């Protein structure tokens, strides 16, 4: 259960006082008058005699039984402090968990306050991804689970924290005047801002569409670009090695509108949709479309990795359809948010229609979270004098450079593996030359007797994805570079030891 806060009823307890005990015993008169038992409301004590003396001396009178106003004020002040503590303390515990990496179930219980009811079980804590690894674990690097970025986001405190009141964003609708009627305006705004800040894609003159991950938007693009009245399904192609999910997503429903047709480099035909992924998944190569677009041929550009942590930003991309995802830009894979920049209004409308028929719209909670996260990213770079000190791309670039250095060393130490050559370019964002450090390592096993690299590595408790799935050979595997440090370090050690 998400970290939650309940207001507990404030209770004033005399022993919760923040004033030293002796202060309670001191009475201070406003006026004089015959002292009586009612005037000892503060409790008594030796000091009282001096007060009584004072009243006698000054001759001022105080109505019998009335506590001096300042004393009442003091009690009130102490009561407010106790109440404030009761309200603030649970919040502090939730925001600053002491357990590194995980908010423990105990902390969740504490933060959530006692749950009413005997049948209401204690809340399960929010998940924390794949199980923790030990030096004997099987290391799973076959998915691009971007948990490497957790360390960065932990440091940002509450800059990217989302609070959603129970009554908020309940409607299906966000902005009925927008082509993408279910898109939260703040998300739209933050997407545009980030692209302007990074300079990796044009946004002026583009429609922004939101999707449940860029995977949904990929299908939406296929739907939008395939003529509804075509006799044959439109061919969908991409240059090998291509992302293993392209054939799967295209074909799993055996759609009559579009059908996977394999490697773009060997495709012959007039009507097609070419998927261009750059930097490419799996091998990180910088790609352009190989088939001409225009006529009946269209291109969809998957720019999931076109961010400074992976590659130099060499130009402001301005293709007709460009896809991006939170999963690989900020690491928030669990939020399931992707977006598309689309030039053509009719294409944007049809893509929106796809999302409408598929999932009615896109989670507003996720959009609001994504907007908050994207804002935090931009704040690190375009904040002027007040820029936050949390710079995602600096962190990411440093991290990826380090990991590739470790990987190249390990491959060299092993002697039986090869990797793509290192390439670099001028990064306009960082104003420096930067290397390509792809999110996946396209590893090839060169040992003659190892034809199935994935199987070989699996035997050494390293799970990768076989090159087979990418339209390449089984000597290749794709390895995620985005997992947590502990898993990555174990992988590096094991790889270096393989002969």
Residue 25 C-beta: closest distance to its own copies, Å: 9
How remote is the C-alpha of 54 from its chain's centroid? Answer: 67
* Binding status of residue 247 toward its own copies by CB under 8 A: no
* Binding status of residue 231 toward its own copies by CB under 8 A: no
The closest alpha carbon to 203, from 339, 336, 102, belongs to: 339
How many CB atoms are located within 10 Å of the residue 29 CB? 18
Is the C-alpha dihedral spanning 273, 296, 343, 289 positive or negative? positive
Rg, the chain, Cα only: 31
**Structural contact between residues 251 and 260, judged by C-beta atoms closer than 8 angstroms:** yes
The closest alpha carbon to 475, from 454, 491, 498, 493, belongs to: 454
* Binding status of residue 128 toward its own copies by CB under 8 A: yes
Residue 146 C-beta: closest distance to its own copies, Å: 7
Give the x-and-dash track for 271-310 against its own copies (CB under 8 A).
----------------------------------------
- Cα dist. 129→126, 153, 354, 462 in Å? 9, 15, 30, 18
Chain position carrying tokens 């502090």: 92
Q: How many residues bind its own copies (CB under 8 A)?
A: 142
413: Cβ contacts below 8 Å, ≥ 6 apart: 496
- Cα dist. 150→145, 486, 493 in Å? 11, 13, 22
Q: Which is nearer to its own copies, 375 or 444 (CB)?
A: 375
* Binding status of residue 99 toward its own copies by CB under 8 A: no
* Binding status of residue 84 toward its own copies by CB under 8 A: yes
Q: Which is nearer to its own copies, 51 or 498 (CB)?
A: 51
Q: Record the tokens describing residue 189, joined without a space.
A: 């705004």
* Binding status of residue 157 toward its own copies by CB under 8 A: yes
Residue 497 C-beta: closest distance to its own copies, Å: 27
Q: Which of 44, 63, 256, 415 binds its own copies (CB under 8 A)?
A: 256
Rounded CA-CA distance 179/347 in Å is 10
DSSP code, position 84:
H
Q: Which of 298, 319, 369, 475 binds its own copies (CB under 8 A)?
A: 369
The closest alpha carbon to 347, from 442, 240, 189, 224, belongs to: 224
Q: Which is nearer to its own copies, 97 or 425 (CB)?
A: 97
Residue 16 C-beta: closest distance to its own copies, Å: 11
Residue 342 C-beta: closest distance to its own copies, Å: 19
How remote is the C-alpha of 267 from its chain's centroid? Answer: 38
Provide the 3-class DSSP secondary structure of residue 418: strand
Site for its own copies in 34-73 (CB under 8 A): 47, 50-51, 53-54, 57-58, 60, 68-70, 73
Residue 4 C-beta: closest distance to its own copies, Å: 6
DSSP H helices, 344-459, are: 345-359, 364-379, 392-414, 453-458
Q: Which of 35, 39, 78, 298 binds its own copies (CB under 8 A)?
A: 78
Residue 437 C-beta: closest distance to its own copies, Å: 20
Chain position carrying tokens 């009627």: 181
Residue 190 C-beta: closest distance to its own copies, Å: 9
Residue 330 C-beta: closest distance to its own copies, Å: 8
Q: Which is nearer to its own copies, 83 or 286 (CB)?
A: 83
* Binding status of residue 200 toward its own copies by CB under 8 A: no
Q: Which of 8, 14, 28, 104 binds its own copies (CB under 8 A)?
A: 28
Q: Which of 39, 103, 200, 300 binds its own copies (CB under 8 A)?
A: 103
Residue 314 C-beta: closest distance to its own copies, Å: 23
The region of 236-244, 305-313, 369-377, 450-458 touching its own copies under the rule CB under 8 A is 369-377
Q: Which of 61, 99, 154, 460 binds its own copies (CB under 8 A)?
A: 154
* Binding status of residue 145 toward its own copies by CB under 8 A: yes
- Cα dist. 62→34, 70, 117 in Å? 8, 13, 52
Q: Which is nearer to its own copies, 79 or 286 (CB)?
A: 79
The region of 16-24, 402-410, 425-433, 439-447 touching its own copies under the rule CB under 8 A is 16-24
Cα angle value 25/26/29 (rounded, 5°): 135
* Binding status of residue 469 toward its own copies by CB under 8 A: no
Q: Which is nearer to its own copies, 245 or 414 (CB)?
A: 245
Rounded CA-CA distance 238/435 in Å is 25
Residue 19's Cβ-count burial label (10 Å; 0-12, 13-18, 19+) is: exposed
Rounded CA-CA distance 439/372 in Å is 24
Provide the 3-class DSSP secondary structure of residue 433: strand
* Binding status of residue 388 toward its own copies by CB under 8 A: yes
Q: Which of 200, 239, 309, 366 binds its own copies (CB under 8 A)?
A: 366
Residue 408 C-beta: closest distance to its own copies, Å: 27
Taken as a whole, the chain contains a residue count of 499
**Structural contact between residues 222 and 331, judged by C-beta atoms closer than 8 angstroms:** no
* Binding status of residue 202 toward its own copies by CB under 8 A: no
């Amino acid at each position: 259960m998400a970290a939650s806060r309940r207001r507990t009823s404030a209770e004033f307890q005399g022993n919760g006082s923040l004033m030293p005990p002796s202060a309670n015993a001191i009475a201070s008169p406003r006026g004089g008058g015959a002292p009586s038992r009612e005037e000892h409301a503060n409790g008594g004590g030796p000091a009282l005699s001096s007060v009584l003396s004072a009243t006698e001396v000054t001759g001022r009178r105080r109505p019998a039984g009335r506590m001096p106003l300042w004393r009442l004020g003091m009690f009130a002040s102490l009561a407010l402090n106790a109440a404030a503590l009761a309200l603030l303390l649970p919040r502090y515990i939730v925001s600053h968990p002491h357990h590194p990496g995980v908010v423990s179930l105990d902390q969740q219980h504490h933060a959530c306050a006692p749950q009413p009811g005997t049948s209401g079980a204690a809340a399960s804590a929010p998940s924390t991804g794949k199980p923790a690894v030990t030096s004997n674990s099987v290391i799973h690097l076959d998915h691009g689970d971007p948990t490497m970025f957790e360390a960065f986001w932990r440091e940002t405190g509450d800059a990217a924290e989302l609070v959603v009141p129970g009554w908020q964003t309940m409607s299906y609708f966000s902005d009925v005047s927008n082509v993408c009627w279910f898109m939260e305006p703040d998300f739209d705004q933050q997407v545009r801002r980030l692209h302007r800040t990074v300079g990796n894609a044009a946004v002026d003159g583009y429609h922004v569409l939101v999707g449940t991950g860029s995977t949904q938007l990929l299908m939406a693009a296929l739907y939008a670009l395939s003529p509804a009245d075509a006799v044959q399904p439109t061919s969908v192609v991409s240059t090998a090695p291509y992302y293993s999910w392209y054939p799967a997503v295209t074909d799993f429903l055996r759609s009559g509108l579009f059908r996977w047709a394999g490697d773009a480099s060997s495709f012959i035909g007039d009507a097609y949709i070419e998927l261009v992924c750059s930097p490419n998944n799996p091998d990180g190569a910088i790609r352009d479309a190989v088939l001409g677009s225009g006529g009946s041929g269209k291109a969809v550009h998957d720019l999931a990795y076109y961010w400074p942590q992976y590659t130099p930003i060499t130009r402001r991309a301005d293709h007709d359809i460009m896809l991006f995802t939170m999963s690989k830009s900020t690491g928030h894979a669990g939020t399931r948010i992707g977006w598309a920049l689309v030039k053509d209004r009719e294409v944007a409308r049809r893509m929106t229609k796809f999302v409408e028929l598929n999932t009615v719209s896109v989670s507003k909670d996720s959009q609001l979270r994504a907007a908050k996260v994207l804002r935090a990213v931009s704040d690190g770079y375009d904040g002027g004098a007040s820029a936050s000190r949390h710079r995602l791309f600096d962190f990411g670039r440093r991290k990826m450079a380090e990991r590739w250095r470790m990987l190249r060393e390990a491959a060299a130490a092993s002697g039986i593996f090869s990797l793509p050559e290192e390439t670099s370019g001028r990064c306009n964002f960082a104003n420096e030359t930067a290397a390509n450090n792809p999110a996946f390592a396209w590893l090839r096993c060169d040992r003659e007797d190892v034809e199935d690299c994935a199987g070989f590595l699996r035997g050494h408790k390293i799970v990768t994805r076989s090159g087979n799935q990418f339209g390449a050979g089984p000597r290749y595997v794709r390895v995620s570079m985005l997992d947590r440090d502990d898993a990555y370090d174990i992988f590096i050690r094991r790889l270096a030891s393989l002969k």
